[in-house]
């Protein structure tokens, strides 16, 4: 992603900017929210924000290119700092079981709709329908809080 896009939208990408040192409380929030992520993503965030390793060190340990690690970390940090993630984290216990499982798989764990359908052993149509409901509630909450 070009730097001009990151600079033009600092509110959304500020936490995902790997060039910047985060204050301890922000890093702690990101690391705590990563507990909802899949194990591989959780390990990346833990290595960076709890153990203090940088992307280059993580890439060397995993024997993968640095850009891959940076892209994955940026994607996870962007997801865990999003309004949708926080909304699902706070409201999921009030939802029916299917909606809760779908929202957890798609939003908290970052699975695609197809991956979520396979993992949860439900139809893709059900995943789409439940995610439509979650997105509608999230949008309404965001409009109400704005």
The domain segmentation of the chain, as residue ranges, is: 9-81, 84-145
How confident is the prediction for the chain on average, in pLDDT? 88
| Sequence-distant (≥ 6) Cβ neighbours of residue 79 within 8 angstroms | 37, 85, 107, 110
The CATH number, out of the four listed (1.10.1060, 3.90.1570, 1.10.10, 1.10.287), of the domain defined by the range 9-81: 1.10.10
Q: How confident is the model at residue 23 (pLDDT cuts 50, 70, 90)?
A: confident
Percentage of residues in the chain with pLDDT exceeding 90?
79
Q: How confident is the model at residue 17 (pLDDT cuts 50, 70, 90)?
A: low
**pLDDT at position 98 over 50:** yes
State the pLDDT at residue 22: 74
**Between 34 and 6, whose confidence is greater?**
34
State the pLDDT at residue 13: 44
Domains 9-81 and 84-145 share a fold: yes
Distance between CA atoms of residues 105 and 119, nearest Å: 8
State the pLDDT at residue 20: 55
State the pLDDT at residue 10: 44
Dihedral class, residue 110 (left if φ above 0, else alpha if ψ from -120 to 50, else beta)? left
**pLDDT at position 7 over 80:** no
Find out if CATH 2.40.10 is the number for domain 84-145.
no
pLDDT tens figures, 39-92: 999 999 999 999 999 999 999 999 999 999 999 999 999 999 999 999 999 999
pTM of structure: 0.81
State mean pLDDT over 104-113: 97
Distance between CA atoms of residues 121 and 117, nearest Å: 6
């Amino acid at each position: 992603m070009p730097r001009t896009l990151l600079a033009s939208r600092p509110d959304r990408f500020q936490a995902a900017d790997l060039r910047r040192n985060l204050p301890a409380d922000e890093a702690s929030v990101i690391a705590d929210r990563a507990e909802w992520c899949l194990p591989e993503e959780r390990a990346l965030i833990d290595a960076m924000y709890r153990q203090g390793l940088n992307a280059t060190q993580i890439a060397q340990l995993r024997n993968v290119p640095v850009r891959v690690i940076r892209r994955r970390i940026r994607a996870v940090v962007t997801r865990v700092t999003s309004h949708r993630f926080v909304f699902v984290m706070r409201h999921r216990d009030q939802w029916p079981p299917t909606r809760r499982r779908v929202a957890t798989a798609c939003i908290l764990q970052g699975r695609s709709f197809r991956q979520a359908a396979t993992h949860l052993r439900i139809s893709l149509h059900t995943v789409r329908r439940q995610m439509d409901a979650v997105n509608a509630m999230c949008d309404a909450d965001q409009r109400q809080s704005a």
